[in-house]
Structure 1
């Protein structure tokens, strides 16, 4: 049995060292080391015998661990712990100790046997894990991980800050709680088909926060595999680009909208006209236009100044948005002139709309100028009309309305 025990210790994968139980200076001395201990420390067995194990300690050896070790040895108790030790060549390694007292026939502690294991790779892996976890926590981008079924298993503080949801309350829930309705079911089918097929999915998501506000997320969703290569989770990293999107939208508005009236400008209005004209022609739909002009606008500018003139333009723009239908398009065509596109309406219906606009504008007054009025010309599409001919007939009708006394409509 003694031979078997010795063979087992000699061939053990774990390092084994036995020391005396002397606790007074110079302290315990090494009386046995197995080959694994020699390999771990870089010392030959002959260099270790009679030495104190503290020769393996160095700058990064934790004093509190050594202090706890001494207390256990002094009290004859079992000790378990880990710290940094140093090899003969000065390189460091993390060691895990299990030290037990060995008692003689009188029950006195005569030796200490220590089974040790180099855990440097394990500690390095844990450090990498902790580093990655810290990186996810401090990442300014939103990070969410779900399981295969789409249940949230992790969300970082950036997610909490932007969505308004505490991560604890979303654990186990599906990210669909953020859906805003801006994406159709085909979008989400493509998402899951892609990631469950092993590929990354990239897109800009329009989500809503807990308070209902919308935000834009430039998001990449990547499948995560286990050691067997099986997809088990999905990692989503999203950059909030709401500010950039809002800026781009503002720039588009500046390029397409008249800043004074809030209506489409002439350039964008011509694009709308072409689009609506082509659609009406393709589907054989009726179509009409209204030309409107603010009466005596030059006199208003000359007498009250351009500031008041701008107020008049702004007010008329607001009234046109209020008085027209959702399907209509009111455009600032130039100066004090406006064009209203009236899809799916013949000249008679468009004249009725023009009259409502005329009466609505004339029904209010400016505190300095008084009543503001419009003259309006209406033209409905006729067979073989071109856009140019249709606009010319509306413009001619507008001219007749002005010649006829203003604050009136004429149908061309």
Structure 2
């Protein structure tokens, strides 16, 4: 019997130790989640079988050994019971952990109350720990691993191991939960270790030890296959990083570069030897404000992933746009140990987007703001003028007899005249003024934060500049101007109608003049 108890205890002890010593990172695998509870069960349960050896070898200390097993046997099955409960929660997602805690505590109290009301607490405690804890604990664990038999996430070898593990645990549940030490009352007086040995001819401990040995073997095999699977995934991930078209940087917690992939070298021009030991400052362009980087660090140090567009700089000084994602990597204790950054070069996309935005707001011929852009700025300026009582003026001018220019000299010459007039306009307005092509040969100038009489002065100066200029192939060209100053009690439409009326008045009263309304 000593050898049987020794193998029995050693099997469970090695079973538990193997689980607890395996890397905790493997727990990210659904198969191994919360498996540390199973490891504690193995260690404690193995210890209870070795205590049985001491009860035989040192009978003088029998009470001490009985007390130890009175405490350790239910504890070991409680670890297993809790493992089975939380495993089912993770699988079915129907119960919360608070519900499980209540069930667990109530289930633990029942055998304790029964035991304390008994005359022989050691024997009663052993029996009811098996009836009320061992049976549900082993069956729950067996059922948990049986559920994985049809899962697509495990290999065929793993499924076979899981099925064998489930069957063995189920058998062990019968052997350890139903066949209890002999007692004078209840089911223990009929089905017990003594009647089992009398009927089978072999001690129950031999069969339990065989189950324990099989469980230890399967557990080690499962952990090994899980480790090999993780290693295989890491190799695949490493290959993926090497061939990825996106740049990848891995740094330590202080931002020191530990790894770069080939795409980083192609994207930035920095070799991995040049990058290692440096920080990502080597590709910093300075285009972002300091607050951008402060927000970046706050985000990743809080354990979140930072995502944003960023302008970086290549080794040769060329700027490029990059869509960046930076995520923290934590250790077993949840502490940030490093960061991984991926970056996609989106320069072409961003430049194209800017081009589209420009096309939407810029007149393609004259390269000044178009009517849509002017309307946008005018709306903002009117709101600001109303709120802060700021003076706001607009000048609308139109090239006189421009149709005749196009008909006589052609549209290409007409386009040159439009461009030249825009150039004259730019040379005479302030930097804060906005000149826009209003439509055809009409142009609009917006002035803010300036006395209204200055708009009249500018309009007259422009009229004279256009009139005095000799246009190539065309000669003399004139323009008519309308000027209006915004009134706080009027709407934008009426404001624009007034300046349009002013231009109409200038046109109908002889052209080449400035009219203020």
Tell me if 1:215 matches 2:320.
yes
Match of 2:14 in 1: none
Aligned-partner Cα distance in 1 for 2:248–2:348: 19
> Partner of 2:281 in structure 1?
176
Are 1:323 and 2:428 an aligned pair?
yes
Change (3 A) 1:260 1:193: same
Aligned: 1:358 with 2:469: no
Q: Report the Cα distance in structure 2 between the residues aligned to 1:234 and 1:298, rounded to whole angstroms.
A: 66
Counterpart Cα distance in 1 of 2:393 and 2:400: 22
How has the CA–CA distance of structure 1 residues 145 and 355 changed in structure 2, closer, same or farther, with 3 Å as cutoff?
Answer: farther
What is aligned with 1:307?
Answer: 412
Change (3 A) 1:178 1:376: farther
- Cα deviation per residue 1:345-390 (whole Å; 9 max; x = unaligned)? 2221222332343344445433211233332222222352332333
Distance in 1, Cα, partners of 2:514 & 2:260:
63
User: Who is 2:497 aligned against?
Assistant: 392
| Structure-1 separation of matches of 2:430 and 2:439 | 22
Q: Give the conservation status (yes or no) of the 8 Å contact 2:249–2:260.
A: yes
SS of residue in 1 equivalent to 2:457 = helix
Q: In the TM superposition, what whole-angstrom CA distance separates every residue of 1:209-255 from its partner, at most 9, and x where no partner exists?
A: 34444322111111123455432111110111121122222222222
1:366 is paired with a residue whose SS is: coil
Match of 1:267 in 2: 372
SS for the counterpart of 2:348 is helix
Residues 1:294 and 2:387 are matched in the alignment: no
Structure number with higher strand proportion: 1
TM-score computed with the length of structure 2 as normaliser: 0.51
List alignment gaps of at least 5 residues for structure 1. 1-118
Name the counterpart of 2:209: none
Distance 2:313 2:515 in 1: 49
Instruction: Give the aligned partner of residue 388 of structure 2.
Output: 283
Secondary structure of 2:309's counterpart equals strand
Alignment of 1:9-158 (within 5 A): 131-158=236-263
Checking the alignment, whether the CA contact within 8 Å between 1:262 and 1:317 is kept in structure 2 is no
> Gapped runs of 5+ residues in structure 2?
1-223
| Structure 1 residues 395 and 146: CA distance shift in structure 2, 3 A | same
Give the structure with the higher percent helix. 2
Cα distance in structure 1, aligned partners of 2:288 and 2:512: 47
State the alpha-carbon separation in 2 of the partners of residues 173 and 374 from structure 1: 62
C-alpha RMSD of matched pairs (Å): 2.9
Partners of 1:390 and 1:331 in 2: how far apart?
17
State the match for 1:194 in structure 2. 299
1:64-98 superposed Cα distances (whole Å, 9 cap, x missing partner): xxxxxxxxxxxxxxxxxxxxxxxxxxxxxxxxxxx
Give the superposition deviation at 1:130: 5.5
Question: More displaced, 242-251 or 133-142?
Answer: 133-142
The CA deviation at 1:266 is: 1.9
Q: How does 1:233-252 map to 2 (within 5 A)?
A: 233-252=338-357
Q: Kindly tell me: are residues 284 and 178 of structure 1, through their superposed partners in 2, closer, same or farther at Cα, counting changes over 3 Å?
A: farther
Partners of 2:278 and 2:451 lie apart in 1 by: 54
